Amino acid sequence: MKLSSRDDRPTQFLRQEQAPPIKPIKLDKKRKKGWQRQLRYIYLRVIRSNSSPKSIARGLAAGVFSGMFPFFGLQTIIALVLAFVLRGNKLVAAIATWISNPITYIPLYMFNFYLGKWLLGGNKAVPFSPMDIGSWNELGSLGGMVLGSLLLGCLVSGTIAGVISYFVGVWLFRRVRKAHYRQRHNAYYELP
């Protein structure tokens, strides 16, 4: 053990130089970039996956189709089952169900209800007044009429939106894959 020259105390007990103060971490900047980082991770995971653009587009179509239905909590499960049956990308299917989110619930389901009502030929106003309902049976039939109109509208709009999203998805994912490949290929050959 080495002794100090000052007062013959071991050096391990001497006071050391003070370290510079630590700079505070800016949490707001990190928090703001957190969701952007998460979205970028999901984007890169889809782009770098071994799935073909058609498989990714089938997953997109399955997710959009199931996202049109008002089965909250079951939309993702329905999308995953459809993606499995159609051999689509399951990650994209789960993400695409967010076409119906808390911001779009009311306009989307009102549109689907009126579409289903129009397809069923029911131009009559649906009586929602409690005074017009005389029994539980009338209330049940009213619920069936509203639910039937909504589900028919969801089925039709979901099918149309699913088919459109499939073709747009194939086109879009092919372009993105080509651009991603070109960027990686050019970066490889531009190295000094």
Among the listed residues 1, 21, 28, the one whose alpha carbon sits nearest the alpha carbon of residue 12: 1
Question: What angle in degrees, to the nearest 10, is found between the helix axes of 53-67 and 75-86?
Answer: 150
149: Cβ–Cβ under 8 A, 6 or more apart, which residues? 113, 114, 116, 117, 120, 122
**164 with 157: CB under 8 angstroms?**
no
pTM of the model: 0.68
Residue-wise pLDDT for 130-158, tens only, equals: 445 455 566 566 677 788 888 899 999 99
Contacts for 63 with CB less than 8 Å, ≥ 6 apart: 79, 83, 92, 93, 94, 95, 96, 97, 99
Confidence band for 68, pLDDT divided at 50, 70 and 90: very high
